[in-house]
Structure formats: C-alpha cells, structure tokens
Amino acid sequence: MTRNAWTSWPSPEALGRNGLSRPRRVLAWVVRGLVLSVLLWGAFTSTRVHGWDVLVGVGVVIVAAALAWTVYRTTFAHRLWPSLASLALLEGLAFVGQAAGFQTLGLVLWCGCAVTALERLPLMAGVPAAGSALVLYGIVNNDNLLTTAVTGVGLGLAGYTLRLDAEARGNAQRLLAQERAARAAEAESAALGERARIAREIHDVLAHSLSAQMVHLEAARLMIERGADREQILDRVVAARGMARDGLDETRQALSALRGEMTPLEDFLGQLVEVTAGAEVTITGERRRLPAEASQAVRRVAQEALTNVRKHAPGAKVRVRLDYGAHQVTLDVKDFGGSPGELAGAGGGYGLLGMRERAELLGGSLRAEPDEEGFVVTLKVPV
C-alpha cells in the first residue's frame, strides 16, 4: 500500500450521504436506531444501576450521540485533530460507562469507534485509533481470548470494508459529476457549432447573391456612363432582379438544408449550370448521399466559382465535374476561352478565402489557380 493511501482521507463524496440509494438510506437509519436502542436498553436493564443512575446512563447515551455526530461532521470536513479528540472522548465515555456498570454501552461504543476510525479517518490515524478501541474492548470483554480476537478482526474487516465501499461510491459520484459536466460542455459546444454553421450558411448565401447582383448592377452603371442602348441596360437590371429572386430561393434552400431537407446534389449542379451560358456538368463515381456539411460545401463552392467566372471571364466555357471517390468527393470547376471582364475588380464577395475556410473546416482542401487554358478551382472533401 502506498504512502498516499495511508495518509489520504476518504473523499467528501465517500463520507457524505449523496449517492446512497433509498434502501441503503433506510438500512443506515435502521442500524442507527438499533444501536441507540441497544444503548438505551443497556442503560435501563443493567443490574448494577438503579434510580438516578439510570438517568445518568441516559445522559451518557445522549452525550455519546452528540459526540458521534461531531465525529461525523469533523471527518466530513477532513479535520484530523478534532476527529481524534471526539473519538478519544467517546472511548473515554465508554470506559466511564463500563466502570459505572453500563457494560453494554461501553462495548457498543468501543466497537463503533473502531469501525468508524477505519471507515472515515486516514489509515495512518485510523488504524491506531481503531486498535486502541479494540484493545480496550478486549480487556473488558468477558469472552475467551480466541472469541475476542476473532471479534476484533471481524470489526476491523467490517470497518475497512465500509471504507472501501464508501470510496467506491465516492469514485462513482465523481465520475458521474465529470460525465454530466462533459455532457453539458458537449451540448454547449454543439450549440455553438450549430450557431456557427447557421451563420456561415446565411453569410454564404447572401455573399453569393449580393455579389452576383453587384456584377449586373455595375455593368448597368458602366453602360449608362457610356450611353449604351436602353434595352441593354434594362437587361442588366432585369438580370439583377433575377439574382435577387434567386438569392431569396437560395436562402430558403439554406434554411431547408439546416433542417436536413436538401435537393440531390446532382440536381442542384444541373440547375446551376442551366443559368450559366456555356457551362456543362459531369458526374463520375458511385452516386450517394453526402453528409449535410460536405454537400453544402460543394454547393457553395460551385456557386462562387461560377460567379467568379461571370465576373472575371465573361463568355468563358465552364466544365463542372463532380467525382464520388471511395473516401472523398472532388469538385472541379474549370473555365477556358474567356476574356478579362470589365468587372474584375468589383467586390470580393465570399471569395477564395471563404471557400478555402469552408473546406478546411471539414478536413478537406481547396486549390484555386490559373492553368494553361484558364482558371481551375478544385475542392476535395472527405466523406
């Protein structure tokens, strides 16, 4: 046994009543009632005391109960010297009672002190305290030496067993408290994560929609400054209005996605390329349902990549390829053949930084760079 085991107190959880089941609480009070009854019976039925002596015996029982309560409180507070002093007073009271003829009272108090010392004190202090009580018990006990020794060993084992049981209960209480704290922290973390997810979805939808609207409105402004035809300007304004309407639809889709109600990813990409001139989509690999976060990442990156094509390379051909791999899904958006747009410097919107952040949050990666023919955006997300 290590030194720490000898010098450490049982935990407050072990010394307290928390964690005790209702049957064990009832049993504890029944045992206390039986002990008190035995003490009172010993005070009233002793053949050597009569009259006022009986009242003295009752008073001794009351004092013993008060000292026992003091031992309970001081050991619970881990106060060593007050605990030892209270136990010493109890043993002294038992000796006085034994000398005055209250034999049953003395025997019960000595046995109780031995068991309590082993159960509630550090072993370095509890073993000597229990030993002194058992020695006094053996001296005044009228049984033969073997019976007294067996009884003393049994009382020692009972006290140590109660100590082990209390420590096991205390450990269970601490583990339960830690588990509850971990669950509370997990719930709080999940709530914060969900809030961040909602904020990210709303931000991405608005960034994409407003960026697209800004493209058309800026084009309309440039046309007005150059004196372009009214019909051309009107087309741009109508397109901006359409983008605003699409933004509202995308917001509704985002809210549906947050509820777990999303259209298939292939259908979404098909609808996306339909409104982008010169774009086509290819799906490879075994199609399957993706986790909500991965699906949303593919949707948002595809939207932003196509918006960037319209902004920076109008008229370019666009190839969108979605590949379902064994352990990841890959989205490629490649444009070629376009010319630098007049709106290349208009607004950053969500941009590459936001797309890369979304990918990294999922443990994936995003590569966006020019190639020999144009510009390519590649998203890889583990699934």
pLDDT tens digits along 242-282: 778 767 766 766 666 666 656 788 888 888 888 777 788 99
Instruction: Encode burial over 324-352: b for 16+ CB neighbours within 10 A, e otherwise.
Output: beeebbbbbbbbeebeebebeebeebbbb
Q: Would you state the structure tokens that stand for residue 104, as one six-digit string?
A: 């049953």
Looking at residue 265, its pLDDT comes to: 84
d(C-alpha 106, C-alpha 139), whole Å: 12
Can you give the pTM of this predicted structure? 0.46
Looking at residue 3, its pLDDT comes to: 47
Q: Would you state the structure tokens that stand for residue 335, as one six-digit string?
A: 């444009």
Angle formed at CA 31 by CA 28 and CA 35, multiple of 5 degrees? 140
Looking at residue 332, its pLDDT comes to: 92
d(C-alpha 308, C-alpha 271), whole Å: 17
The answer for residues whose C-beta is within 8 angstroms of residue 48's C-beta and 6 or more apart is 100, 101
Domains and CATH numbers, the chain: 3-142 (no CATH), 184-382 (3.30.565.10)
d(C-alpha 154, C-alpha 138), whole Å: 13
Looking at residue 1, its pLDDT comes to: 43
pLDDT < 50 regions, the chain? 1-3, 47, 49, 342-350
Whose structure tokens read 């997810």?
A: 197
d(C-alpha 336, C-alpha 374), whole Å: 4
